[in-house]
Amino acid sequence: MGFKFNNDRIYDIIAIGRACIDLNAAEYNRPMEETMTFSKYVGGSPANIAIGCSKLGLKVGFIGKIPDDQHGNFIKKYMADAGINTSNMVIDKEGHKAGLTFTEIKSPEECSILMYREKAADLYLNPSEVHEEYIKQAKVLLVSGTALAQSPSREAAIKAVGLARKNDVKVIFELDYRPYTWKSKEETAVYYSLIAEQADIVIGTRDEYDTMENLEEGMGENQKSVNFLFKHRPGLLVIKHGVEGSYAYTRAGDVFRGHAYKSRVLKTFGAGDSYASALLYALIRGKDIETALKFGSASAAIVVSKHSSSEAMPTVDEIEQLISENEKK
Ligand SMILES: Nc1ncnc2c1ncn2[C@@H]1O[C@H](COP(=O)(O)OP(=O)(O)O)[C@@H](O)[C@H]1O
Ligand SMILES: O=C(O)C[C@@H](O)[C@H](O)C(=O)COP(=O)(O)O
């Protein structure tokens, strides 16, 4: 069973949200306090997903705001070189800076991120900088939950969803909960449910669904989330459970399980973004949901074995090879 997209569009997917900088610990197995060297990559969940999709061969566009400085130049050039259309990446003229994410690799299982999101340029994307002419050229609009954290980026993202709905562009909501940018969990739940109810596909971890439902982490249940969201617009819900794998629920009542693949894990971050890019690639290319879950899991297994989130995004061949090696076992 697959998911139908509008095929007469220039872009397979347009993502809206942050394009930032990741500074990943270049020294492994030590706390950040003792880490002296970091490697720079483009980061930010929607940018990572856009890069992953482009590397898989999809035609990708991006809507966002980047700083008017060396980091902004780096982000724009990297994304353009990755094949992404950057015509709707607006340069901030008010002195806002790039969001920075430092990562810590204490052990393959114990990783964390430290985000600098104060006055990040992406949060200043204005609704007037979101254009219907651009959005209507896409099959899919990918909205990152973090874009809803503050105004005016919040209104920009809500406008984009409205334009997508008006122009029959499928809305994919990646919950992408980063507490650093939000004022309160109560507020997060309000905006998350508002957009999830209007989306065609929602993707998130079990904890992120708990946040959307305004529950303490660990208190939610997949079936209750599914019952709630299928009262609204979504046709497909994807709930991720880390190394335990993931589940996809369809409005028709089907449930599919995706298993995580064994990997030589270097760090855990990057799993979610690589998973989303390959899952969406597979769905957009008309593959069935079970195959899409395999694509997502295989892509994540590859990225957790590498140092970055964006640069490490795999090719279709690498993903297919990992899947077929596991099917021979
Ligand atoms: N340690 C791991 N080894 C292999 N695959 C993993 C690992 N962690 C996560 N994955 C894969 O990545 C997917 C998304 O990971 P998850 O941790 O649930 O999301 P997020 O990174 O957004 O928190 C999982 O469903 C699984 O397939
Ligand atoms: O999303 C960010 O701003 C940070 C990412 O760029 C970083 O690489 C990361 O944390 C990715 O983790 P994931 O959500 O597990 O894919």
pLDDT at 217: 86
Cα radius of gyration (the chain): 18
Q: How confident is the model at residue 328 (pLDDT cuts 50, 70, 90)?
A: confident
Q: Say which amino acid occupies 33.
A: E
Q: What's the 40 CA to ligand 2 centre distance in angstroms?
A: 13
Q: What pLDDT shows up at residue 2? A: 65
Instruction: Tell me the C-alpha distance between 181 and 150, whole Å.
Output: 8
Look at residue 213 and tell me whether its pLDDT is greater than 70. yes
Contact (Cβ atoms closer than 8 angstroms) between residue 51 and residue 84: yes
Residue closest to 163 by CA, chosen among 230, 88, 91: 88
In this prediction the pTM is 0.98
Residues of the chain above pLDDT 90, percent: 95
Ligand 2 and 45: CB distance under 6 A: yes
**Mean of the per-residue pLDDT values for the chain?**
96
HEC string of 128-158 equals: HHCCHHHHCCEEEEEEEHHHHCCCCHHHHHH
Band (329; pLDDT cuts 50, 70, 90): confident
What residues have CB less than 8 Å from 222, skipping those under 6 apart? 206, 209, 239, 247, 249
Q: For the domain bounded by 11-19+45-97+121-328, which CATH number is listed?
A: 3.40.1190.20
The residues lining ligand 1, judged by C-beta closer than 6 Å to any ligand atom, are: 205, 240-243, 245-246, 258, 260-261, 263, 265, 268, 271-272, 275, 297, 300-301, 304
Segment holding 62, helix H or strand E? strand 60-66
